[in-house]
Structure 1
């Protein structure tokens, strides 16, 4: 089969004769219909391979939708021929086939194209991240990339009374309004959160992954408020906080990661129900920007790399905003 893998820092390799992944008794083999490029993890692995240990251990190409090709002997929830989306696979989706644990596979509605279906990998993540949002809450979301937009939609489904978002890109904020934001605020710098965003929110969701945006969320929430760390801190892996401020506010905090199989299964189960019932309302089409064949993965990486968040805080960057009019790019092995 064809497969693209990381060959080094900012270097990828196309193999035309890679082996089809072997699966165990609890695993599923998926014929990949599409794999979207992760705007944080995949790009961080690509740019920091060899510089950060975790960038050599994560799965490069993990946002997958496709058709079940084969299942292990203990798999009961899906069968060959079933359309699925995958969260955290065992092998890369930048290939014709990928392996995943059964617990990481969810049913994909028949009317959702694979290019959009691969974006649903973000849905269980957003479900788990917003588990602290309660009916009637005021929610602020810092960052309106793909994961921030998915968190916006799930927070709305959870019954948030007001959702206010901010981003560097006016075009992304237009998507936010389309997907249900009550108010959008343009940020002028990657190192500031505008004061007009407001304060005293019940929940503040950090969906960028930089030290500044993480600290800014502490200022946004009320006494005893909740800070959610949804952005992936692959570039700046250490963040410092004023713990006296945390103590005085009595803040709560949780991350988006599902730390146990129980949490993963619960988030996926909710995501599957939401995908079946609310696909039209989730507006995956508003998040999908482009579709490239497998051989053009390099072009997608170059386009998405025009982002200031790929540079550590305090370092020079030629980019002031995210790449123009760009959210998710789907890679389709069957094209070309």
Structure 2
């Protein structure tokens, strides 16, 4: 089969004769129909391979939609021929086939095209990240990339009374309003811009993953408020925080990570139900902005790499924000 491999920093190579993986117990082999590029992890792995230890251990190409080809012993939730999306596979989705654990595979509605279905990999993440949002909460979402927009949708579905979106890019913020934001604020990336005068939030969600955005969320929330770490800190892996402020405010904090299989199964189950019953409300067509063939993966990586978030905080970067008019990019084998 054809498969792209990340072999070094900014070095991906197409293997046209790679072996098709065989599923073991509780594993599923997927015929890949689309794999979207993760705007955070895939790009960080690509740019920081060899510079950050974790960038050589994660799966490059993990947002997959396709059809079950073969199931391993013990698999009961999916069957061959079934349309599925995958939350964190065992092998890359930039290939004709990919391997995944059964617990990471969700049923894909027939009405959702594969290119949009691959984006559903983000939905369990947004579900788990917003688990602390309660009816009537005032919620700030910092960062309006694909996962930030889905977190906004989940906060709205959970009954938030007011949602405010922050981003560098006015084009993304225009989408935020359609996704359910009551207010939007374009910021310049500095700490002073990440605030809403007079506002006090119950929950602040960092959907970017930088020291600036995390500390902004601390400032945004009220006493005993909740700070959610949704964006992964791939670039600045060590973040300095003012613990006196955290103690004075008595803040609560949780991440979007699903640390055990029970959490993964719960989040995936909720995402499956939403994908089937609230499909239109997820606004998946608006999240997909580009589609490329597998052989064009280098072109897709080049497009998405024009992003300020790929550079450490405080370092001069050649870009002021995210790529223009770009959210999710799908790769089709």
TM-score scaled by length of structure 1: 0.98
Instruction: Give the whole-Å Cα distance in 2 for the aligned partners of 1:258 and 1:198.
Output: 34
Unaligned runs of 5+ in 2: none
- Residues 2, 190 of structure 1: CA spacing in aligned structure 2 closer, same or farther, 3 A cutoff? farther
Q: Are 1:164 and 1:197, in contact at CA under 8 Å, matched by a contact in 2?
A: no
Q: Are 1:168 and 1:189, in contact at CA under 8 Å, matched by a contact in 2?
A: yes
Q: Are 1:193 and 1:213, in contact at CA under 8 Å, matched by a contact in 2?
A: no
Instruction: Give the whole-Å Cα distance in 2 for the aligned partners of 1:198 and 1:308.
Output: 29
- Residues 116, 190 of structure 1: CA spacing in aligned structure 2 closer, same or farther, 3 A cutoff? farther
**C-alpha RMSD of matched pairs (Å):** 0.9
Instruction: Give the whole-Å Cα distance in 2 for the aligned partners of 1:48 and 1:257.
Output: 21
* Offset, 1:299: 0.6
Unaligned runs of 5+ in 1: none
Instruction: Give the whole-Å Cα distance in 2 for the aligned partners of 1:241 and 1:15.
Output: 44
Q: Secondary structure at the match of 1:196?
A: coil
**Structure 2 partner of 1:181:** 181
Q: Are 2:191 and 2:216, in contact at CA under 8 Å, matched by a contact in 1?
A: no
| 1:55 corresponds to 2:72 | no
| 1:332 corresponds to 2:332 | yes
Q: Are 2:194 and 2:216, in contact at CA under 8 Å, matched by a contact in 1?
A: no
Query: Could you give the per-residue CA deviations for residues 26-63 of structure 1, whole angstroms, max 9, x where no partner exists?
Result: 00000001000000000000000011111011000000
Query: Could you give the per-residue CA deviations for residues 290-319 of structure 1, whole angstroms, max 9, x where no partner exists?
Result: 100000000110000001110111211110
**Structure 2 partner of 1:230:** 230
Correspondences of 1:1-336 after superposition (within 5 Å): 1-189=1-189, 191-196=191-196, 198-333=198-333
* Offset, 1:196: 2.9
Instruction: Give the whole-Å Cα distance in 2 for the aligned partners of 1:43 and 1:212.
Output: 19
* Offset, 1:189: 2.5
TM-score scaled by length of structure 2: 0.98
Instruction: Give the whole-Å Cα distance in 1 for the aligned partners of 2:190 and 2:308.
Output: 7
Q: Paired residues, what number?
A: 333
Q: Are 2:307 and 2:320, in contact at CA under 8 Å, matched by a contact in 1?
A: yes
